[in-house]
Amino acid sequence: MTADLALELMRQTFLTGLALALPLLGAILLVGLVLGILQAATGVQEFTLSFVPKLLAAFGLILLLGSLGLSLAVEFTVRMLMLIPQMGK
- Assign 2 to helix, strand or coil: coil
Return the amino acid letter for 55. L
> The pTM is what?
0.76
| CA trace torsion 16, 70, 72, 20 (10° rounding) | -30
Q: Residue 51: CA atoms inside 13 Å, Cβ hemisphere, count?
A: 4
pLDDT in tens, 41-61: 988 888 778 889 999 999 999
Average pLDDT for 2-12: 89
- The 3-state secondary structure of 37-74, one letter per residue: HHHHHHCCCCHHHHHHHHHHHHHHHHHHHHHHHHHHHH
